[in-house]
Every structure is written in structure tokens, then in C-alpha cells.
A and B are shown apart, each in its own frame.
Chain A
Amino acid sequence: MNELTRVMYVEDEPDIRAVAKLALEAVGGLTVSLCERGDRAVEEAEAFCPQMILLDVMMPGMDGPSVLQAIRQSTQLKNIPVAFMTAKVQPHEIEYFKSLGAVGVIAKPFDPMTLSQLVRDLWEKAEKPL
């Protein structure tokens, strides 16, 4: 199984971007690329070649679910596992996000110390053939 090293995080809120980057890099030892706008996500992901993409759900302009759709239409990115990071974590909401093709949902607010482990868990789940 491949090891997870490169992650991209699409999030419009600067403080959350900064904390997540720190959490994933300093605690998780990952290489992280940040993107602040949904409509730039596909272009920047194609350039960065992440192994996994984390998407904020509610963003102005293009929201997380629309970005996921666009990712699935890119030949280069269509098989990359995508997880949502959101405060909407009621069971029906999680079901909805999974039905869109997300590998899972990470609840906000997140704990910077454990975020990278949650991401790795989802990555392993996506990599492991059922």
C-alpha cells in the first residue's frame, strides 16, 4: 500500500487553512498544498498532484460538492480520494456527502493534534480494497 505524503486542502477561511497546514505538516509529516477558492481547486490540484484532497463544504463561489464533481470530471484527478471537512456532521448529512462519492467526512471543529491521523485513517480506508 502506498503511503500518504501529499495532501491538498481547499478552504476559504485563512485561520483554518493555517492551522490545518500546521497540523498536517508539523504533526503529520505530510506535504500540504492549500487552495483558498473552490473554482481554482481543480487547476491547482492538477499542478500539485496530491494523493488525497480535503474539501471545505461551504465556500463562496464554488462549494465543496461542486468541486468534487469537477474533480471527478478531470481525467488526471478522477480517482483521487476526496474527504469533506465540515461542521455538518449529522448522520443524514454524512450520508449525503458519501453519496456524492466522498471517502468520508472529518468533523469541524477539528483538533490540530489528531487531524493528520483522521486523514491517514480515511486514506487507508480508501486504499484498502474491500
Chain B
Amino acid sequence: MNLTRQLQAIQIQYLEKLPQTLTQIESLAHRLPKSDPGDENWQQLGQLLHKLSGSAGTFGLPALSAQAAKLHRQFEAALLVDGDSYARECHLFISEIETLDTFAELDGIPAKPSADAQDEGSSNNNRPLVSEVWLLEDDADLGSTLISHLQAFNFSARLFTSFTDLIHTFESEQPEVLILDVLLGDEGRSTELLEQSSMLTGASSRLIFISAKDDFTIRLQAASLGAEAFFVKPLDIPRLITRLEQVTARLHAPPERVLIIDDDELLARYYQQLMINANMQVDILHEPDRVIDYLLQNSPDIILMDLQMPDIEGQTLAAVIRQYDQWVGLPIIYLSAEDDPDHQATALNHGADDFLVKPVPDQHLISAVKHKVSRSRQLLELMTKDSLTGLLKHAAIKESIRREWGIAKRKSEIFCVAMLDIDHFKQVNDRFGHAIGDEVIASVATLLRKRLRNTDVLGRYGGEEFVVLMNNCDAVEAKKILENFRQRFQELVFTSEEKQFSATISIGIAEYQPGSDMDADALLINADKAMYTAKETGRNRVIVS
């Protein structure tokens, strides 16, 4: 992993926590009129403001950083006033604190979840980093069409019309993905490209090639330059976007969540630090008997377990975890000083996946954990996700809605379920063939991922039908978000053998209100009815049940 990406990984973590920090600052500030200078509330607010001013700039938020510093100075000065002016100062100060998030927005980061953020083009509140994509394209029409598609899918796209310009900029900054339309095989241009090829392949940017011609020599040349994908003109834009999504999703995989169970506190802390430095999230559990409670509340990707603990043996603990259906596939690695292969084999028989002998070399531990997690995530995806769209399968999305319904009922929260159906999909299949139909379906999925919030759960319910679960969201906000999605979708242009067409989608929303006696199945039925009303009243619209 190169430096930029490592920095980005830390930045993502920081930005994920930012909304929470800002909310905390705001609520502490609201308590100021009732608190005394120097008390706990007061001190905590001072510390948070100070930290924010010192950290935000490092993570690419200079405006927020400067504003926090200003407010911190104001805050310290306010310590000196008393009486009536204190109340007035507090009031002024609170109103300034309330605008802190607008400074984060100035820096390009939507700091608070809101439907408005959708309209500004950055839909994922929990994933504020937008992938940077550069396009080299000298055909002006194709260039602008591609750029607008990329932007519709929430990529930050930049157009270059000459290779020299691109290389020049590439020397100082590099995007995540480079899309190059070059005349491969052609003498003049490809020599130029080959001269710069070490620079391209040496950098961390992923490469996608667009070519006017298609033959094996050209593809070979692209592959040797490090191409991850190769597209032939006329360009199938939705397919290119889907590929681009896959490439960038791999780059932004969430940090591995690791649970260490070890009674040796120092060693556990050492491993924890080691893995945190490798950008993983690591918890330590010293009491093995709390593991089930922990697993129920958190969902780690992997468990590292000491084999010899004073009260419970590691292999017995692993066997207990395996008694639960939902954790049959959870990777467990034993850590032990045991180097007898026979004993190791016995231990592995009890449901663990690997065995690492202490002392484990640092790099070995990290790569073993990363490898196991990546494999198990792949398997989990295969089991629960639809292969065409990468969304949850029918059973899994239904299960998610039941689970969310349970949580919402218990916590008295509001949430929405939406049913989406592509309009006249049969005609698309009949006119352009099933392969093109599949592309339209895949585009819905890609656009949903890009346009909905990161916490929303997305599923392919069947054929051309989709179900979306939006937690902590009322019907008004859900409608706003899905309306935005609907408009973006109808703007997409699909190409089939030189013919171009676009598609539309009908959407029905059902809201769960706390206290309502509607259950998960009833919600789905209502969303479905609303979707049919959308169809009956002219299609390409969003209806709330």
C-alpha cells in the first residue's frame, strides 16, 4: 500500500467520526449557559475544540480547522467575562458553534447526514471520500458524455485531451483510476505511451484502456501496461462504470475488524497496536466468557484466540462459538506457543481456521489476518449477494428488513422500506437482448450504491425489482433521496449496437412509525402497493404509501 492510500485510509476513519464529534461539540455548547467556567462540561468542550482545530487541517479540512481554532480562542476569552455578559457571550458562541458543520462543507465534506447532501452530489454521508478518476479522451463529445456519466455516479472526474498534459499533471498528483483512450498498436502514440509506461505502471493508479480497435496484440499491449480493464468503442458506458465501481470498491474496503481473546494483557496490547498501525480496528477481550455477548453486539471479521487460557481452553471456546449458526463461517485463528504439529492438528479439529505459533513475526500476523478476512468477506458475498448486482439476495434483504423492524420497534425509531421496479423492462429485453437488460439492472444497483446513504441496505428482490431499507429516515427524506435517484437514472444513456436508449423506474415507499402495529411483511406489501400506484399513475415516479 503506498503512502497516499495509507493516508487516505486514516483520513476515512477520521471523517467517519467527524459528524459524531461535531454533534458532541454542539450538545456540550448547548449546556454552557447552565455550566460554570472550569467545570467538566466546560473543560471537555475546550478540549474537543482544541483537538478539532489541531487535527482537521491534517485531514484535508482547513476551513473547519481554522474556524475551530477561532472558536477555541473565543471560548477561552469567554472564561474571563461574568454576569449578564456571560449569558450573552454563551448565546453568541452557541450560534457560531451551530455553523461549524458548514465549514466542513466548505472543505467539501458533508459533515451532517442530511438529504440535502444528496443534491450536492455527494450521497454517502459515511463515506465522504469520492474516488478521483482521470480521463484521457481527445474526442470532445465522448469526453463530455463520459465525464457527465462519471459525475452522475459520484466520481470526481477530470478530463485531459492531451497525453502530455496528463503526464505533466501526473508527476505531482495521481488519481485512483486513469481511463486512457489511446491508439494502441499505432506507431506514434504508442511509442509515446511506452516511454511513459514505467511511470504509469509504477504509480498506484489503476488503469483502464479504451480502444477503437480490438485484437489480441492490442489487448496484450494494454495488459503489459498494467490495464485492469479494456473497453472497445462504441463505448458501453454502464459496463465501464460497473467495472470502475469494482476497482474503486477494492481500494476502499473497510478496515478489518479484529477481536483478540488473550489473557496476556501486554501481548494482546502489542498485537492490537500492531494491527491498528496496519489500519485495522482491534478490540481485546480478556474474559473469554463474555465472547458471545461481544459477538452479538459487534460483528468482527476475525477472532485471534490464545489457545491456553487459565479458565477456558481456546479450542473449547471455538467450539462454543461454532454452536451458533451465524458464526460458523467466522474465521478463528489460534495463537499459541504450541509447536507440536499433532497438538496443532487436534486444536484445528475444533473449528479454527489457522494456527500461528508465538512469537508470531509482525508482518506474518498482519498478512495472515488480512488474507483470512478478505477470503471470508468474498465467501460471505457469494452466499448473500446477487452475482449480477452485488446487492443482497431476496432472502437476505427480507431478513434485513425483519431485523431492522425489530431494532426500530425496540428503540422507537422511524425507518422506510422502498420497492423499485424498472419500467417496461420486458421491452428492453425484447428489443435489445438479455445481455443489455442485465446491464440496465446492474446500473440500477451501481447508481443505488452511489446515490443512497452508506447505511441504507440494498437488495435485488427479483428480476427487475429492488428493495431498499433506509434506517433512521422518514418518508419525506426517503422520497427526497429516491426522487434524486430516479432523476439520475432516467438521464443514463445505454448503448446497444449503435442504438441509444434510456430507462425509467417506478418507486413506492412505506414508512414504519414507532408504535405502529405494522410488521415487516406489511411494510413490504405497502411499499409494493405504492410502487403499483406509481406504475398506474404513469410510471417514472415516486409514491409514498
- Residues of chain A touching chain B, judged by Cβ–Cβ distance below 8 Å, are 13-16, 18-19, 21-22, 26-27, 34, 58, 60, 85-88, 108-112
Contacts and interface: CB of A to CB of B under 8 A. Distances in A.
12 contacts: A15-B17, A15-B59, A16-B54, A18-B276, A22-B10, A58-B50, A58-B51, A87-B53, A87-B54, A108-B53, A108-B58, A109-B59
Q: 5 smallest A-B Cβ distances: which pairs? A: A109-B57, A108-B54, A87-B54, A109-B58, A15-B14
Chain B interface, DSSP helix/strand/loop, else mixed? helix
A95 B62 CA distance: 25
Interface of B: 3, 6-7, 10, 13-14, 17, 47, 50-51, 53-59, 62, 65, 69, 72, 273, 276-277, 279
A15 B47 contact: no
A87 B72 contact: yes
A109 B6 contact: no
A45 B273 CA distance: 17
A111 B47 CA distance: 21
Contacts of A110: 57-58
A108 B57 contact: yes
B51 A112 contact: no
A59 to B, nearest CB: 9
B10 A15 contact: yes
A30 B95 CA distance: 44
A26 B51 CA distance: 24
B277 A18 contact: yes
A87 B50 CA distance: 7
Chain B CB within 10 Å, residue with most, of A85, A87, A110, A112:
A87
Contacts of A58: 47, 50-51
A108 B58 CA distance: 8
B54 A27 contact: no
A86 B57 CA distance: 12
Contact of B55 (A22, A34, A60, A109): A109
B55 A13 contact: yes
A86 B54 contact: yes
Contact of B58 (A26, A27, A88, A112): A112
A48 to B, nearest CB: 13
Contacts of B51: 13, 58
A111 B58 contact: yes
Contacts of A108: 53-55, 57-58
Contacts of A88: 50
Contacts of A15: 10, 13-14, 17, 55, 59
Contacts of B59: 15, 19, 109
B10 A19 contact: yes
A80 B55 CA distance: 26
A22 B6 contact: yes
A60 B47 CA distance: 9
Contacts of A109: 53-59, 62, 65
